Structure 1
């Protein structure tokens, strides 16, 4: 059984109506008694990294909507600890954060491939006990992470594939309509 801990995926229940989290998958980066923190990994933001950070010389690096909290901040996860110091390993080979100046320099020099890093505007956060309560209410389905899925660039497939990876009982949920009353 999967329990709440850094590195797990929170898959939104098909009937979760919260517009911030409907049909999303959240990578949980921190889970402590005082609260939890993570990023929506499958909701593309309207602007690219070079739009938000003028120092980035490479065009059209995607930025994802990390969540509704602090939408004036940029965060990232990556697979390049040799290029980016200061990251926290949340899964084997997957790091959260690090020195942003090193990220910009590595991108501009062509040393860091965009498929090795994922950027987020804002984050998803829960206060003490809030996420546990949402899991009890069945708003979230917990899953072991899949590194390939975390860095998948076809964001529209992540939610469905996350459910399918859990087996046939969940795979059929991947095709549920958003609002069954419209069926």
Structure 2
């Protein structure tokens, strides 16, 4: 297996913070990887809602956002920028059949894709199954994520389209771990503060 194949294979997967990850920016986070190649990695934290309503910053998109209809902190980088993720049901099957995607939406993995926030929302409204807005993103330079993985900071697991629009994002870390097989499912029961155990 070539290094490039190994690197690019993580796009669309989830990084789930291990209990030993000490960085407060990523404590108990679930990160969806949007791009992962030899140049670095970009993802968004799926489980950090902010108190800011989507309507307060991107009013035209507020109606399409799924509850909770707030902006999520996608990571510590570029907090003054916004990106949107949406699930388009049937997008994977359409691509397999050779049909173009939805205008204003770029597929990342399966039915999950990035939305062009400059596009008119009504252009996408009929196609979207869910939409979530993120301020900022998580980024890693070349080889940085691989080093963190080798240090045991993250679990890498498969994503599901519902992860993007989890109705109770604060519980997503435990929910993603709980659906894994074997010992990894047991990590979901790890206490918030092990010293209190």
Shorter-chain-normalised TM-score: which range?
0.7 to 0.9
Out of 128, 137, 160, the residue aligned to residue 142 of structure 2 is: 128
Structure 1 unaligned residues grouped into runs of 5+: none
- The answer to whether the Cα contact below 8 Å between 2:102 and 2:127 also exists between their aligned partners in 1 is no
TM-score w.r.t. the length of structure 1 is: 0.85
SS at structure 1 position matched to 2:192: coil
Offset from partner CA, 1:111-164 (integer Å, 9 cap, x none): 476x61111010000011111111111100000111122321210221101111
Corresponding position of 1:49: 54
Provide the C-alpha distance between the structure 1 equivalents of 2:69 and 2:118, rounded to a whole number of angstroms.
Answer: 15
Out of 65, 73, 79, the residue aligned to residue 73 of structure 2 is: 65
Out of 39, 43, 50, the residue aligned to residue 44 of structure 2 is: 39
SS at structure 2 position matched to 1:162: helix
Provide the C-alpha distance between the structure 1 equivalents of 2:127 and 2:134, rounded to a whole number of angstroms.
Answer: 17
Pairwise CA distance, 1:92: 1.4
Structure 2 unaligned residues grouped into runs of 5+: 1-5, 92-99
Pairwise CA distance, 1:182: 3.0
Pairwise CA distance, 1:61: 2.1
- The answer to whether the Cα contact below 8 Å between 2:87 and 2:131 also exists between their aligned partners in 1 is yes
Corresponding position of 2:189: 175
Out of 136, 145, 156, the residue aligned to residue 142 of structure 1 is: 156
Q: 1:56 to 1:161 in 2, by over 3 A?
A: closer
- The answer to whether the Cα contact below 8 Å between 2:104 and 2:119 also exists between their aligned partners in 1 is no
- The answer to whether the Cα contact below 8 Å between 2:55 and 2:62 also exists between their aligned partners in 1 is yes
Pairwise CA distance, 1:28: 0.1
- The answer to whether the Cα contact below 8 Å between 1:50 and 1:56 also exists between their aligned partners in 2 is yes
SS at structure 2 position matched to 1:117: strand
SS at structure 2 position matched to 1:51: helix
Provide the C-alpha distance between the structure 2 equivalents of 1:64 and 1:57, rounded to a whole number of angstroms.
Answer: 13
Offset from partner CA, 1:20-70 (integer Å, 9 cap, x none): 110110000000111100000111112011111244564972221100000
Corresponding position of 1:88: 106
Corresponding position of 1:16: 21
Provide the C-alpha distance between the structure 2 equivalents of 1:48 and 1:84, rounded to a whole number of angstroms.
Answer: 26
TM-score w.r.t. the length of structure 2 is: 0.79
